[in-house]
Chain A
Amino acid sequence: MFSEGSHLPPPVHYWQDHRGLGSPLAVISRHVRKHSLPLPDRAVAELAARTGLLESTVRRAAEYYRSMAAREDHPPLMVCQGTACRLAGSGKLRESLEKRKLSCHGVACLGYCDAAPALLDERDAAYTGDAASEFDEHRGFSQSILGHPLPRMESLSATPLILPRLLQGGAATLKEALSMGVYEGLRSALQQPGQVMLDLMTASGLSGSQGRVAPRWHTCAATDAVDRYVIGHAHAGTSGAVVDRLLLERDPHSVLEGLALAARAVGASHGILFIPADYPQALQQTEAAIREATAANLLGRNILRSHWSFQVSLFPGAARCAGGEATTLIDAIETLRGQARPQPPAPEVAGLHRLPTLVEPLETLVQLGTLAKDGSEAWTAQGTAECPGTRVFCLNQGFAQPGLVEVPHGHNLRDLIENWAGGGAMGSPLEALILGGLGGSLLGPGEWDFPLCPSRMTASGLRLGNGSLVAIAQTADLRDVLSHFLEYMDGESCGKCTPCRLGPAGIVSLAARYERLARVDRKPRDATRARRDLETLFHTMELGSLCSFGQDLPGPMRRFIDLFWDRIFTKTS
């Protein structure tokens, strides 16, 4: 081990920038998007020379991005397979595109839930809603990345904490960001020791989907280690990540400032932004922002002539990463495999490269600038006692008025659905709601009367998840929704632990058995047993899975089956 006080250069990891050219992995992922695998030796050698990585690492990285690789050197269309898009008919869209001999690649979520369905063409321009449904492969060169209209956005809080800059149209460049006061928080935090930021965090009671964030920061800061990491992650691979995409595309400097402030608070010297490689525009904007901020000495060595240095690396994640579970992200960064790791130790104690690692969603990070600049009053003044502050919800296009809304914690869900979003699209009543992604909560119409407060929800067995709200209309194909649940879990599971890896397949085979038995209707006892077996399986998945992804997903799925059992199975027979 490196001895204390050693002046050795710290080891340089492959995901770090070796040559001052930005993320070496971004270079490789972009190359893979445009070329088919396996890459020829010459391409590998060139990429190795460009990025400063070993050839074997280049090969491994290219393999990691396999799912987005071009076919016969032609980049495929990326069709969103998120829940919102699925309900909006992305399955049929994909079928029709493939019928037209267009190569398609299904993506966990492109982040356009409010305007589903969505697809990206081979130049990575986004097409949503009708534009996607009527996608014409012979179209001219029209869409530009920021040309895509912003969704409806509103704050029901007088002092929005997450969306303030997006509500003003965003601040993609450093100049715009500075004019909106970004980096002022960092400037003032640099005048004070990191402990001040940590105290501010505690005072504010800033909360994420699991409740208050500060305790984890304290653990991370208190752990004895030579260095620490901070990872900011977009909700990789989970449906409903609209706000993450928008923050990265239009407010990247707030994200960077937040990352630096979190690092300042816990004493980390390195930050990593884990951004799904499926968000090419977000990736590009963030990369540009890092470059601008580094050039302006807002990141990098001796920030603003202080004694504090902080480096940010960009990690384009191949999406589909156990719903963004923290240890999975860490494993992806460390080994390019993305497999869940056993806890304890928690990432705050021993995470990336066995060093204490803070993993925070972007929504938490973007609040930190304001916190450092203006203090904690804005948090304590709103929200609930357990969870001060606000939360952004993204309502999908199944509502009459979809969009993003920032509300103080504790806001009533039914009010949000009925008054802000105007109920179901076209006035049709809703069958159910999926709150917080597929691993969140499934709520029937009678279950909407509760305050949206993470702590109180956890107490009553509900999960806030990533804050997305997806409406299931009465016209929805419930069998397809169940298939979506199963396909999502199967397609997202890292495959490490048996219950999560094989559970969905087990459910399929049990359901098929039940259906067969129910149809012939000879042995009702066997059918009962099949249903009991299904219950055992859910139980095993919930209790036996390694990480929160496998533990959380069966809940809503079971609830869904319980609610709609008859309509899924018997009616169709």
Chain B
Amino acid sequence: MPAVDHTPLPSLALINGRELTVSPGETILQAARRLGIDIPTLCHHDRLSPEGGCRMCVVKCAGHPRPLAACHTPLEPGMEILTHHREVERIRKTLLTLQLTTAGESGLEPGVIREGRFTELLVSHGFSLPRRTPPPVKTDTSHPYLRWQPSACVSCRLCLNTCEQIAGHFVFGMEKLGAASRLTIDGKAGFNGGACSSCGACVDVCPTGAISDRDREKPRNRRETNPAPPVETVCGYCGTGCRMIVHTDKRGDVGHIDGVPNAAVNHGDLCVKGRFAHGWHHAFDRLRRPMLRSGAAFSAVPWDQATALVASRFQEIAAASGPDSIAALVSGRTSNEAAYLMQKFMRGVIGTNNIDSCSRLCHSASELALSWMLGSGSASACFDDIELAGCLLVFGTNPTESHPILGARLKQAALHGVPLIVVDPRRTDLSDFATLHLPVKPGTNVSLINILCRLVLEAYGETTAAQVGAPGLEFEAWRDFALSLPVPEASAITGVQERDLRLAARIIADSAPLLTLYGAGVTQHVRGTAGVIALANLALLTRGLGQPGGGLLPLRGQNNVQGVSDMGAMPDHFTGYQPIRSADTGTRVAETLGFNLPGKAGLTVTELPDAILAGNVRALWVMGENPLRSLPDTAKTRRAFEKLEFLVVQETILTETGKLAHILLPAAAGFEIEGTFTNAERRIQRVRPAVEAPGEARPDWIIISQVARACGAHWHYLGPEDVMREVGRATPETHGGVSYQRLEQSPDGLQWPCPDPAHPGTKRLHSGGFAPGKGRFVPIDYEPSPDHHRQDYPILLITGRALEHHNSGGMTLRTPNQDLPTAQGLALHPHDAARLLLVDGDEATVESAQGSLRVRVRISNRQLPGTAFLSIHDGSRPANRLVSALPDPDSMTPQYKAVAIKISR
């Protein structure tokens, strides 16, 4: 038999006479774009499902009685499409005429439409632009940021679809029918109604300016002449690391902010903080000049004098009491380069390991437990795994408020049918979309995870379990431990019904791979490290680590809290988590950097107040931190800081801590610096200055270098780029291949480990297996927290963030975010409130063993009975006054998430 060629002929279609190969599922619009043919659209957006409403994209197709809408009709072989045939052009013009002439019925006032996508359509179809008229109704400006002008709305529903299909909120609706149909915003409530998260995604897509924002509606003179080109940088709030474009206005201030389209992390989306809360950069109380304390007041001093003073005082104290009497704190907001230099200064110039960062207060437990168990202390997975996951376990984190962009991605995944299990004492926004919500009692995570492990093991049965337990992983011992745990007991401890526990385990067992996203709800506990170990056991059991769509993803709270730890701002680790105690680290530091690493591990920030009070630490350099607000037991922290002989606070604004400083060094803020930030998925991204720092404020890395030079060190960095080169030399395993040149070439940054310049970066850790001796199962049992079962303090308080405010609110409270409707006050379950005879809005006294507060009570059935929630942003009611200083003995992270309190009227 002769050989037959089985390769199918390419299926072809014609668009405007040009031939192209049909690819299945591709719409006519997409195919035409491939040929560079532009079909006009109004309601279409590439990231949304085709709407098919505006009908501007109708095209003629030979043999079809009626024109086809290009946006939602797939191109099929043999089609002959004419995109600009006379007939469809006439339909397009008639449609635009309809929009312009039926204003009385549709409510559209053509003269109000702002120049943009709609006016472009008018012009390209031969219409003259409508004469500008004042809007018949006043623009709704009741929201701090968002603006609504109904008479410019063409009912394209782009806002509605964006809100639902991307942001995952359901703010918009359509009311009435026909020409009377109108867009509604949160029913009749408007943007202030509570459903809107103020992310501003709708503003981005609105073609007519019906929905706009405060930044875009600024007076023309500030908006139009733009002296500098917009700058691409990275958001300075949470650890998601959204890329953004900062536009400046005529004065050189931040004008408005857009997301970078197609950015790997955020795909062009931003949240309320990222997009709008930039006003603090230009706050009137930004620190502009170095200030020296004299008595109770501060007086400005020149930089030279300030750096010289810092250097001489440090040297004096070090000479008198030894280098370990000096300590430094680094914030998760500073750049990698600044963090690196600060730890290098402390270790190389002062000669102490007394350096720590705010990571201690959130994810030290993860760093410790994960590096111990798996060989690396950071996220094994990446954000793209959210869409690939077989099952999502969201544990002790409220991403729609703390990491809104990730929250939105999670919500979409859940809406697309990925099973989602939310473990949180509070019924969070995300739990409404979850397959299952497990309202766990605060502080009982370990028991919950262990019992899930047991039930998953049972669901797997013998065969699968045998595959998990490769020899040498100590699987059998762990399995015997897990199987010995009684389910009813765990149910009693955690407060989660047995039925729900079993269902959760079944979902996990059935839908591999499992991606676990967790937050401070796991780590900020006395048994935080144990919680992470238990989660790692579950991850090992479900075999998702290193697989696409599986693994562990600790959500980091600040823009660069990951990077600060990577840079060695830890008392026991040098860069890239190289242990101080290891001789190799010392040798490498001596060889590459030319100094001897101090051998003794330093103090953690949690231990600092006691060390100061004991007189062991006399001087402290705080860079970008506000320990008086962020450390537990505020009263003791204040006593300690007041006792310090020399406190240097390097800050952008005057914080509570700054008020106690002996010298204040004005630092440049996020949009004013050059450097890199590393997000929660280990992605190192470039940060560029978009605006000038106010007054004499300087970037952190310059300040540290100058102090170092004043101390006599021979530091001569040409810029942050130079610093990163040195980081690469000191940490070749993870940062060896990272350079600014490469970061310029790949704007989405590099995910470490990136050992050499040819390495593409690492999306997932452990994909090639674990380091020798790692990846073992570790039996770890539940122990109650000291805050449990206290007769005198019967309620467990959870502290945390609110969507609108970042941590202690230093930045966001200096922006119009303060006017956003934030859930204020102490949230209490109605049953608890009723028992205490409290009604919504009552003032009540909250007491713990550490201190007391007067707060307003907010009754919320999203709260688990027996628990309360208080946001940490409110400076007049600092929640940390209540938190015990007793930390997790392993990670030294305080228990912010389960504080025994009592409430009285």
Contacts of B94 in A (CB 8 A): 499, 536-537, 539-540, 544
Is there an interface contact between A495 and B417, defined as CB atoms closer than 8 Å?
Answer: no
B106 nearest CB neighbor, chain A only = A502
Given contacts A493-B177, A493-B178, contact A8 B54 (CB under 8 A): no
A276 part of interface (Cβ distance < 8 Å):
no
B90 part of interface (Cβ distance < 8 Å):
yes
User: In residues 1-40 of chain A, which contact B (Cβ within 8 Å)?
Assistant: 1-3, 6-9, 11, 38
A451 part of interface (Cβ distance < 8 Å):
no
Interface centre among A342, A492, A509 (most CB of B within 10 A): A342
Is there an interface contact between A8 and B98, defined as CB atoms closer than 8 Å?
Answer: no
B587 part of interface (Cβ distance < 8 Å):
no
Is there an interface contact between B177 and A492, defined as CB atoms closer than 8 Å?
Answer: yes
Q: Indicate with 1 or 0, residue by residue over B58-78, a CB within 8 angstroms of chain A CB atoms.
A: 100000001101011110000
A63 part of interface (Cβ distance < 8 Å):
yes
Is there an interface contact between A2 and B419, defined as CB atoms closer than 8 Å?
Answer: yes
Is there an interface contact between B174 and A337, defined as CB atoms closer than 8 Å?
Answer: yes
User: In residues 535-561 of chain A, which contact B (Cβ within 8 Å)?
Assistant: 536-537, 539-540, 542-546, 551
A490 part of interface (Cβ distance < 8 Å):
yes
Question: Measured between C-beta atoms, what is the minimum distance from A6 to chain B in Å?
Answer: 5
Is there an interface contact between A341 and B155, defined as CB atoms closer than 8 Å?
Answer: no
Give the CA-CA distance A392 to B105 in the complex, in Å.
38
Is there an interface contact between A8 and B55, defined as CB atoms closer than 8 Å?
Answer: no
Is there an interface contact between A499 and B55, defined as CB atoms closer than 8 Å?
Answer: yes
Is there an interface contact between B72 and A501, defined as CB atoms closer than 8 Å?
Answer: no
Is there an interface contact between B105 and A502, defined as CB atoms closer than 8 Å?
Answer: yes
A147 part of interface (Cβ distance < 8 Å):
no
Count B interface residues, CB 8 Å: 54
B511 part of interface (Cβ distance < 8 Å):
yes
Contacts of B71 in A (CB 8 A): 342
Give the CA-CA distance A11 to B433 in the complex, in Å.
11
Is there an interface contact between B98 and A498, defined as CB atoms closer than 8 Å?
Answer: yes
Give the CA-CA distance A59 to B173 in the complex, in Å.
12
Selecting from B179-187, B250-258, B285-293, the interface stretch reads B179-187
Question: Measured between C-beta atoms, what is the minimum distance from A223 to chain B in Å?
Answer: 15
Is there an interface contact between B179 and A8, defined as CB atoms closer than 8 Å?
Answer: no
User: In residues 150-194 of chain B, which contact A (Cβ within 8 Å)?
Assistant: 155, 157, 170, 173-181, 187-188
Contacts of A496 in B (CB 8 A): 51-53, 157
A104 part of interface (Cβ distance < 8 Å):
no
Give the CA-CA distance A520 to B170 in the complex, in Å.
52
B194 nearest CB neighbor, chain A only = A56
Given contacts A6-B511, A504-B179, contact A497 B91 (CB under 8 A): no
Is there an interface contact between A8 and B506, defined as CB atoms closer than 8 Å?
Answer: yes
Given contacts A8-B506, A8-B507, A491-B178, contact A1 B417 (CB under 8 A): yes
A291 part of interface (Cβ distance < 8 Å):
no
Q: Indicate with 1 or 0, residue by residue over A36-56, a CB within 8 angstroms of chain B CB atoms.
A: 001000000000000000101
Give the CA-CA distance A1 to B510 in the complex, in Å.
11
A446 part of interface (Cβ distance < 8 Å):
no
Given contacts A8-B507, A490-B177, A495-B174, contact A38 B187 (CB under 8 A): yes
Q: Indicate with 1 or 0, residue by residue over A302-346, a CB within 8 angstroms of chain B CB atoms.
A: 000000000000000000100000000000000001011110100
Is there an interface contact between B418 and A1, defined as CB atoms closer than 8 Å?
Answer: yes
Give the CA-CA distance A337 to B164 in the complex, in Å.
13
Which of A2, A342, A495, A540 makes the CB contact (< 8 A) with B511? Answer: A2
A471 part of interface (Cβ distance < 8 Å):
no
Is there an interface contact between B174 and A339, defined as CB atoms closer than 8 Å?
Answer: yes
Contacts of A501 in B (CB 8 A): 106, 155, 178-179, 181
Is there an interface contact between B510 and A498, defined as CB atoms closer than 8 Å?
Answer: no
Give the CA-CA distance A3 to B390 in the complex, in Å.
8
Is there an interface contact between B510 and A7, defined as CB atoms closer than 8 Å?
Answer: yes
Is there an interface contact between A342 and B95, defined as CB atoms closer than 8 Å?
Answer: no
Given contacts A342-B69, A502-B102, A505-B106, contact A497 B179 (CB under 8 A): no
A503 part of interface (Cβ distance < 8 Å):
yes
Given contacts A337-B173, A337-B174, A506-B101, contact A498 B55 (CB under 8 A): yes
Given contacts A1-B417, A63-B187, contact A495 B66 (CB under 8 A): no
Give the CA-CA distance A551 to B94 in the complex, in Å.
16
A489 part of interface (Cβ distance < 8 Å):
yes
Given contacts A6-B511, A495-B177, A536-B94, contact A544 B101 (CB under 8 A): no
Give the CA-CA distance A210 to B168 in the complex, in Å.
38
Is there an interface contact between B95 and A544, defined as CB atoms closer than 8 Å?
Answer: yes
B50 part of interface (Cβ distance < 8 Å):
yes
Which of B90, B170, B178, B417 makes the CB contact (< 8 A) with A489? Answer: B178
Give the CA-CA distance A9 to B432 in the complex, in Å.
17
Given contacts A498-B95, A498-B99, A499-B55, contact A505 B105 (CB under 8 A): yes
B435 part of interface (Cβ distance < 8 Å):
yes
Q: Indicate with 1 or 0, residue by residue over B819-850, a CB within 8 angstroms of chain A CB atoms.
A: 00000000000000000000000000000000
A197 part of interface (Cβ distance < 8 Å):
no
Is there an interface contact between B72 and A342, defined as CB atoms closer than 8 Å?
Answer: yes
Contacts of A38 in B (CB 8 A): 187-188
Question: Measured between C-beta atoms, what is the minimum distance from B446 to chain A in Å?
Answer: 26
Is there an interface contact between B177 and A494, defined as CB atoms closer than 8 Å?
Answer: yes
Contacts of A56 in B (CB 8 A): 170, 195, 432
Contacts of A60 in B (CB 8 A): 170, 173
Question: Measured between C-beta atoms, what is the minimum distance from B393 to chain A in Å?
Answer: 15
Given contacts A2-B419, A536-B94, A540-B95, contact A505 B102 (CB under 8 A): yes
Give the CA-CA distance A501 to B53 in the complex, in Å.
10
Contacts of B187 in A (CB 8 A): 38, 59, 63
Give the CA-CA distance A495 to B178 in the complex, in Å.
5
Q: Indicate with 1 or 0, residue by residue over A338-356, a CB within 8 angstroms of chain B CB atoms.
A: 0111101000000000000
Is there an interface contact between A495 and B176, defined as CB atoms closer than 8 Å?
Answer: yes
User: In residues 592-626 of chain B, which contact A (Cβ within 8 Å)?
Assistant: none
Contacts of B101 in A (CB 8 A): 506, 509
User: In residues 494-525 of chain A, which contact B (Cβ within 8 Å)?
Assistant: 494-506, 508-509
Given contacts A493-B177, A495-B177, A501-B106, contact A540 B432 (CB under 8 A): no
Q: Indicate with 1 or 0, residue by residue over B385-410, a CB within 8 angstroms of chain A CB atoms.
A: 00000100000000000000000000
Give the CA-CA distance A337 to B181 in the complex, in Å.
12
B105 nearest CB neighbor, chain A only = A505
Give the CA-CA distance A498 to B104 in the complex, in Å.
15
Is there an interface contact between A344 and B74, defined as CB atoms closer than 8 Å?
Answer: yes
A513 nearest CB neighbor, chain B only = B101
Question: Measured between C-beta atoms, what is the minimum distance from B737 to chain A in Å?
Answer: 36
Question: Measured between C-beta atoms, what is the minimum distance from B430 to chain A in Å?
Answer: 13
Contacts of B418 in A (CB 8 A): 1
Question: Measured between C-beta atoms, what is the minimum distance from B461 to chain A in Å?
Answer: 13
Given contacts A337-B173, A501-B155, A544-B67, contact A54 B432 (CB under 8 A): yes
Give the CA-CA distance A290 to B71 in the complex, in Å.
41
Give the CA-CA distance A96 to B179 in the complex, in Å.
27
Which of A340, A502, A545 makes the CB contact (< 8 A) with B179? Answer: A502
A6 nearest CB neighbor, chain B only = B510
A495 nearest CB neighbor, chain B only = B181
Which of B54, B170, B179, B511 makes the CB contact (< 8 A) with A3? Answer: B511
Give the CA-CA distance A459 to B231 in the complex, in Å.
62
Question: Measured between C-beta atoms, what is the minimum distance from B187 to chain A in Å?
Answer: 6
Is there an interface contact between A499 and B174, defined as CB atoms closer than 8 Å?
Answer: no
Given contacts A8-B511, A506-B101, contact A498 B177 (CB under 8 A): no
User: In residues 498-519 of chain B, which contact A (Cβ within 8 Å)?
Assistant: 503, 506-507, 510-511
Question: Measured between C-beta atoms, what is the minimum distance from B377 to chain A in Å?
Answer: 32
Contacts of A7 in B (CB 8 A): 506, 510
Pairs A-B, 7 closest by C-beta atoms? A495-B181, A342-B52, A490-B178, A342-B72, A505-B105, A505-B102, A540-B94
Q: Can you name 17 A-B residue pairings with CB atoms under 8 Å?
A: A11-B417, A11-B435, A60-B173, A341-B52, A342-B72, A344-B72, A344-B73, A490-B180, A493-B179, A494-B181, A495-B177, A499-B94, A502-B98, A505-B106, A543-B67, A543-B91, A546-B53
Beyond A6-B511, A492-B177: 9 further Cβ-contacts under 8 Å?
A: A1-B416, A1-B418, A9-B503, A66-B175, A491-B178, A494-B177, A499-B98, A500-B178, A505-B105
